[in-house]
Structure 1
Amino acid sequence: MPVRANSDEVKLLARLMRAEAEEDGEMGMLLVGNVGVNRVMGDCLDFEDLRSIRAMVFQSPGGFEAVQRPYFYQAARDRDIRLARRVIRGERYDPASHALWFFKPVGPCPPRWFNQPHSGRYKSHCFYIPVPASCPDVY
């Protein structure tokens, strides 16, 4: 298991995944979950000292916009919890298998975002990875 998570943290990650990417379906939600788990595992760059799902979800500054919207605070659904457990257990999917960032652009994905290389797009979200030497624990 890449990260430790109690049942409350599983539900917290599930809510984050739903709030950030429900419109992109289950795979979109899994990709967002990969980014979250990578931030906890990575202990690098903008994400040093994030040692738990809770710390990652509520990181400020640099965290997720979804926690500022009411939809995030609705209870996790069974489907969302199952998806969160999958990424916590270590399932990884490209283009987010090593990603630490994502965003939803108006147009095409820029080749770099905050100086980080683009790893790919899935539906509405662009994903970005660190240079391996700057964050080896996500590789």
Structure 2
Amino acid sequence: MTRIKYIQSDVELLARLIRTEAEAEGQRGMLSVGAVVINRALVKCSDFKNVDTIREVIYQYHGSDASFDAIQSPSFYQRATEPYLKLARQCLQNWRLYPAVYSLWYFNPSGAGVQNTQCPPKWYGQPYAGVWKNHCFYEPTGAECAEIYKI
């Protein structure tokens, strides 16, 4: 069973994003980033009311800021290879695990490659859900996005 309808170009796009955003975080880190992308495409709340597809989520901007720094990296535009395509398919086919089960946001507060991540208890007003290696994950409150807890 899949979590969301998708086409082959979505698999390739998601594979490139998870590689560029979280390759240093290992497979579980890349899968967690992919789960956040899928979560954003499935909900109609918060900053994600007007995005419905993987492509729209990945290329979403908030003012002049890209939602994902990866799209500004030259490595994002390199062809996706099979190991990353496999991870993208896992995300699309219902992979979710703590801390990304209900998360809509993540970030690396220390910068790339820095260990001993200190995650703030809230980020943009949303509560901390957990950490995986260098990425802090945040899920919305029920008041902000109750539907995330139903998907």
TM bin (shorter chain): over 0.9
Which segments of 5 or more consecutive residues in structure 1 lack a partner in the other structure? none
1:100 corresponds to 2:136? no
**How far does residue 2 in structure 1 lie from its aligned partner after superposition?**
1.6
Spell out, residue by residue over 1:26-84, the C-alpha distance to the aligned partner (whole angstroms, 9 max, x if none).
00000000100000011210011211000001001251110011011111110111111
Aligned to 1:111: 121
Distance in 2 (alpha carbons) for counterparts of 1:138 and 1:81: 25
Maintained 8 Å contact 1:39/1:47: yes
Aligned positions, number: 139
Task: Report the identity percentage.
Answer: 42
Maintained 8 Å contact 1:109/1:121: yes
Aligned to 2:144: 134
Alignment of 1:13-32 (within 5 A): 13-32=14-33
CA RMSD of aligned residues (A): 1.0
**How far does residue 135 in structure 1 lie from its aligned partner after superposition?**
1.6
One-letter amino acid matched to 2:132? Y
State the secondary structure of the residue aligned to 1:24: helix
State the secondary structure of the residue aligned to 2:61: coil
Distance in 2 (alpha carbons) for counterparts of 1:132 and 1:77: 38
Distance in 2 (alpha carbons) for counterparts of 1:97 and 1:77: 26
Spell out, residue by residue over 1:73-122, the C-alpha distance to the aligned partner (whole angstroms, 9 max, x if none).
11111011111111111110100110000000124000000000000000
Mean alpha-carbon deviation: is it higher for 60-69 or for 21-30?
Answer: 60-69
State the secondary structure of the residue aligned to 1:135: helix
1:86 corresponds to 2:86? no
4+ long deviations beyond 2 Å: none
Maintained 8 Å contact 1:99/1:127: yes
One-letter amino acid matched to 2:105? W
Distance in 1 (alpha carbons) for counterparts of 2:22 and 2:145: 25
State the secondary structure of the residue aligned to 2:129: strand
**How far does residue 133 in structure 1 lie from its aligned partner after superposition?**
3.5
Larger radius of gyration: 2
Distance in 2 (alpha carbons) for counterparts of 1:109 and 1:15: 26
**How far does residue 14 in structure 1 lie from its aligned partner after superposition?**
0.7
